Amino acid sequence: MNKIIPPENLPELLERAYLMAGVNLAHIAAQRGLSVPKDLKRDKGWVGQLIEMELGAIAGSKPEQDFLHLGVELKTIPIDSRGHPLETTYVCVAPLHNIQGLTWQNSLVCHKLQRVLWVPIEGERCIPVGERRIGTPILWEPTPHELQLLQQDWEEIMELIALGKVDKVTARHGEVLQLRPKAANSKALTQSIAADGSLKMTNPRGFYLKKNFTASILNRVFG
DNA sequence: GGGTGATCATAC
DNA sequence: GTATGATCACCC
């Protein structure tokens, strides 16, 4: 399979992304020498990693933006026939301890969402994976209002975590940003703050963008 | 039906 | 376990 050089600058990244619009996943997979899974049950990250590869993202499991040199995070987003998101969007792992002094401005959520290249992909399960088409990419930088919503949710959730109430936070907290389990399964454990300030073990959590928020981003283009 | 909580694959 | 990439699937 051909290796793809990372884009040198933002226009180059955008050009590559725009060239994929309208193309289906089987076509991209064939170029990369990959086989297409029959469904995503056991390949949940397949689409995202395929697009990463095609755009020349730096492979790695670092908690940073995909195109660090460009200040861009890449997100594929499954959409229905009307262009609405089918899933929430994972942002990053939530810190559950050692969070004294942590502010919104230096949080991982804030850094990752500073600039996102959204790549919509047809995601309805009735469409065979290989036939799903890539949509028009959207380079998004949060507006001041969006930043305010994100910061407010983040601060409320982090406050509860700091108070040792992580187990009381559900996905219903937050208007645009939510906290949900993010682990291999419900038995996975990590350290978190207990009510008395000591450490206890809890299921790891991650921050996710709710569908309505992502939909409003996509709607700017698709109406 | 839709959202919340659970889960899958993989690298290290 | 933690981090990446996310979607699955049960329950309300």
**DSSP character string of A104-143:** GGGSHHHHHTSSEEEEEEE--TTS-GGGPBB---EEE---
Q: How far is the CA of A188 from the C1' of C2 (A)?
A: 11
Instruction: DSSP for A136-200, please give it.
Output: --EEE---HHHHHHHHHHHHHHHHHHHTT-GGG--TTS-SSEEEEE-SSSTT--EEEE-TTSSEE
Domain limits, chain A: 10-222
From the Cβ of A185, is strand B under 7 Å away? yes
Q: Percent of chain A beyond pLDDT 70?
A: 98
* pLDDT average, residue stretch A190-199: 98
Among left, alpha and beta (phi > 0; psi -120 to 50; other), residue A13 is alpha
Q: Beta-carbon neighbour count of residue A6 at 10 Å?
A: 15
Per-residue model confidence as pLDDT tens digits over A61-105: 788 999 999 999 999 999 999 999 999 999 999 999 999 999 999
Q: How far is the CA of A162 from the C1' of B11 (A)?
A: 31
Query: At A49, is the secondary structure helix, strand, or coil?
Result: helix
Nearest nt to the CA of A77 via C1' is C6
CB-based contact A66:A58 (threshold 8 Å): yes
From the Cβ of A178, is strand B under 7 Å away? yes
Q: How confident is the model at residue A223 (pLDDT cuts 50, 70, 90)?
A: very low
Q: Beta-carbon neighbour count of residue A171 at 10 Å?
A: 13
Tell me which protein residue sits closest to nucleotide C5, measuring alpha carbon to C1'.
A45
From the Cβ of A3, is strand B under 7 Å away? no
From the Cβ of A133, is strand B under 7 Å away? no
Q: What is the model's pLDDT at position A61?
A: 76
Query: How far apart (Å, rounded) are the C-alpha atoms in residues A16 and A67?
Result: 13
Per-residue model confidence as pLDDT tens digits over A1-40: 567 899 999 999 999 999 999 999 999 999 999 999 999 9
Tell me which protein residue sits closest to nucleotide C7, measuring alpha carbon to C1'.
A44
**CATH T-level assignment (fold) for domain A10-222:** ECO RV Endonuclease; Chain A (3.40.600)
Q: What is the model's pLDDT at position A60?
A: 76
Query: How far apart (Å, rounded) are the C-alpha atoms in residues A30 and A90?
Result: 27
Nearest nt to the CA of A42 via C1' is B8
Q: How far is the CA of A211 from the C1' of C12 (A)?
A: 19
Q: A151 vs A28, A60, A174, CA distance in Å?
A: 37, 27, 10
Query: How far apart (Å, rounded) are the C-alpha atoms in residues A68 and A63?
Result: 11
Q: How far is the CA of A210 from the C1' of B3 (A)?
A: 10
Q: How far is the CA of A77 from the C1' of B1 (A)?
A: 20
